[in-house]
Amino acid sequence: MIKQPIYLDYSATTPVDPRVADKMIPYLTEKFGNPASRSHEFGWDAERAVEEAREQVAKLVNADPKEIIWTSGATESNNLAIKGAAHFYKGKGKHLVTVMTEHKAVIDTMRHLESEGYEVTYLMPETNGLVDMAKFTAALRPDTILASVMLVNNEIGVIQDVAGLGEVCRAKGVLFHVDAAQATGKVTIDLAKLKVDLMSFSAHKTYGPKGIGALYVQRKPRIRLEAQMHGGGHERGLRSGTLATHQIVGMGEAFRIAREEMASENERIRYLRDRLYKGLSQIEEAHVNGDMEQRVPHNLNISFNFVEGESLIMAIRELAVSSGSACTSASLEPSYVLRALGRSDELAHSSIRFTIGRFTTEEEIDFAIDLVKAKIGRLREMSPLWDMFKEGIDLSTVQWAAH
Amino acid sequence: MSYSTKVLDHYENPRNVGTFSKDDEGVATGMVGAPACGDVMKLQIKVNKDGVIEDAKFKTYGCGSAIASSSLVTEWVKGKTLDEALTIKNTQIAEELALPPVKIHCSVLAEDAIKAAVADYKAKHGEMVETAACKG
């Protein structure tokens, strides 16, 4: 008997790896010192642990530990990178570039800067979710301060060509920020080679604890930021606030495990994802959202046409998954990411994101396939749109009474 | 979000799912909503010679609350005259199913479906009536 519900929402968050939890606990009870305390052993122990963790984080992405700044998570890292650079370099211009499918932590930060008088270009991705290099290049202007593009999309898992985009930015003298919250442990990141100036990280998407993240701030050439949090001048003045030693230790250990195990882990996860994909693609009118090649191995975002996403999630309560349809909000708007790919409203409303992880088993995947197949059949029997489709009616030609 | 027991019951065991033959005597259809809004309801009523709704069927594309609302109204309209059916209000549906505020539009849609079905019947039988406007 499989334990239910089955967790297939690893892009929302991951459980803390037991090895990570074990390493964290002593820093809550015995080794509780403040890493900023320079006058005794409690402080020195904590500081040593923080610096070891910084090294582990830096190692995963091939950066210098001095380039890693602790934050509370990727949202804060995105805020610090984008606002910090925009404010510091406003003498150069007031223009920024990003993509419509970015995480809200980037989109809303950009929107805030617009209210401060900055101008932002939101690029539309191609229908596979990827950014077109020519359109990106054309969007960069002489007064552009910074461009921000995520490495791995949280909803559809597509991998942007940040190496190529970085080259373009560097050639044009534009700072390049990359949100890599969904990428660590899934794709290889080599910051010694990438032309990336700022990169955001999160621990809890990679089997570390929630509430801790980091920002990579390149040293050569040196990137300057205006601090968003003021106080004791921690983290070279970029982010004041007492360091959360236990969280930091957890992030370090999680990133160490990611570095050592990602190759074999991704192979296993890819096998499971492909098995899931094979099973679900036997369902009629199932459409994968986002490019299937330029994609992390653990993501499958799929729309089941003529079935509404929230009712499907309700039907498959034995699975913990996400729907692209934000139907629980009063606005009834489908996922803005899927809309930006040009998906029809029906498909955008009918999407389910399956994200597989370290503790997913083959039995769980097989159970999920059988369950989804059965429930899709049941809901389609109830769906007037499915009837119309079967009668050969083109739904886009129907005059709907919008409400 | 969590659903009320009544929503879950109607969702798990929907009443009167299906379609009448279009050529059946006394059958009228109301289809409301739009895929863009995430819900489409089709309500069919079968009206006897005395003007009483003797049977009803539905098909719904939408969330659990939308399915439950349509299932509920198929039960409620049965045995009612057309004019009686028109007195069913969305607030009664919302109350019966304990719908949360964000799901009130599902009950509005169900009320609209009744109005649309009755209007279709009356139009087919020569009575002109105002068609229900979709809102919510």
Q: Check: CB of residue A351 under 8 Å from CB of residue A325.
A: yes
* Residue A157 in tokens: 């898992």
What interhelical angle do A41-60 and A245-280 show, nearest 10? 30
Give the integer Cα–Cα distance in Å for A121 and B63. Answer: 35
pLDDT value of position B135: 40
Please give the biggest Cα pair distance in chain B.
45
Q: Is the CB of A401 less than 8 angstroms away from the CB of B33?
A: yes
For residue B68, the chain A residue with the least C-alpha distance is A311
pLDDT value of position A114: 98
Q: Is the CB of B108 less than 8 angstroms away from the CB of A334?
A: no
* Active site residue ranges of B: 37, 106
pLDDT value of position A8: 97
pLDDT value of position A399: 82
Residues of B in contact with A332 (CB under 8 A): 37-38, 105
Query: What residues contact residue A387 under an 8 Å CB cut-off, 6+ apart?
Result: B19, B59
pLDDT value of position B102: 86
pLDDT value of position A274: 98
Please spell the DSSP secondary structure of A85-153, one letter per residue: HHHHTTTT-SEEEEETTS-HHHHHHHHHHHHTT-EEEEEPPPTTSPPPHHHHHHH--TTEEEEE--SB-
Please spell the DSSP secondary structure of B36-60, one letter per residue: GGTEEEEEEEEE-TTSBEEEEEEEE
pLDDT value of position A152: 98
Q: Which of residues 300-339 of A touch B (CB under 8 A)?
A: 306-311, 314, 325, 327-330, 332, 334
Low-confidence residues of chain A: pLDDT under 50: 326-331
Q: How many CB atoms lie within 10 A of CB A288?
A: 17
Q: Is the CB of A403 less than 8 angstroms away from the CB of B36?
A: no
- Nearest chain A CA: its distance from B43 CA (Å): 10
Residue B56: name the closest of B133, B118, B128, B132 by CA: B118
- A285 in reach of chain B (CB within 8 A): no
Pairing of strands A213-217, A286-288: unpaired
Q: Report the number of secondary-structure helices (H) and strands (E) in chain B.
A: 5, 3
* Residue A344 in tokens: 């029809």
Q: How many CB atoms lie within 10 A of CB A232?
A: 10
Per 3-state DSSP, chain B is made up of helix, strand and coil in percentages (nearest 5) of 45, 20, 35
pLDDT value of position A2: 84
* Per-residue model confidence as pLDDT tens digits over B89-103: 999 999 999 999 889
For B134, counting Cβ atoms within 10 Å of its Cβ (0-12 exposed, 13-18 middle, 19+ buried), the class is: buried
Residue of B2, B60, B63 to mutate, interface with A, max A Cβ within 10 Å:
B63
For B108, the enclosing helix (H) or strand (E) is helix B104-124
**A98 has which bridge partners?**
A122, A148
Task: Give the active site residue among A229, A320, A327, A371.
Answer: A327
pLDDT value of position A182: 98
Q: Check: CB of residue A244 under 8 Å from CB of residue A50.
A: no
* Per-residue model confidence as pLDDT tens digits over B35-66: 888 889 999 999 999 999 999 999 999 989 99
What dihedral do alpha carbons B67, B73, B76, B81 form, nearest 10°? -160
pLDDT value of position B132: 44
Give the integer Cα–Cα distance in Å for B106 and B136. Answer: 9
Residue B101: C-alpha distances to residues B3, B39, B70, B105 (Å): 12, 16, 17, 8
CA atoms within 13 A on the CB side of B24: 17
pLDDT value of position A211: 98
Q: Which amino acid is at A140?
A: L
* Per-residue model confidence as pLDDT tens digits over B7-16: 999 999 999 9
For A363, the enclosing helix (H) or strand (E) is helix A362-381
The answer, yes or no, to whether ipTM is higher than 0.85 is yes
Q: Is the CB of B62 less than 8 angstroms away from the CB of A402?
A: no
Give the integer Cα–Cα distance in Å for A332 and A324. Answer: 11
Q: Is the CB of B36 less than 8 angstroms away from the CB of A385?
A: no
- Mean confidence (pLDDT) of chain B: 89
Give the integer Cα–Cα distance in Å for A152 and B26. Answer: 56
Residue B128 pLDDT class (50, 70, 90 cuts): low
pLDDT value of position B1: 57
pLDDT value of position A402: 58
Q: Is the CB of B41 less than 8 angstroms away from the CB of A381?
A: no
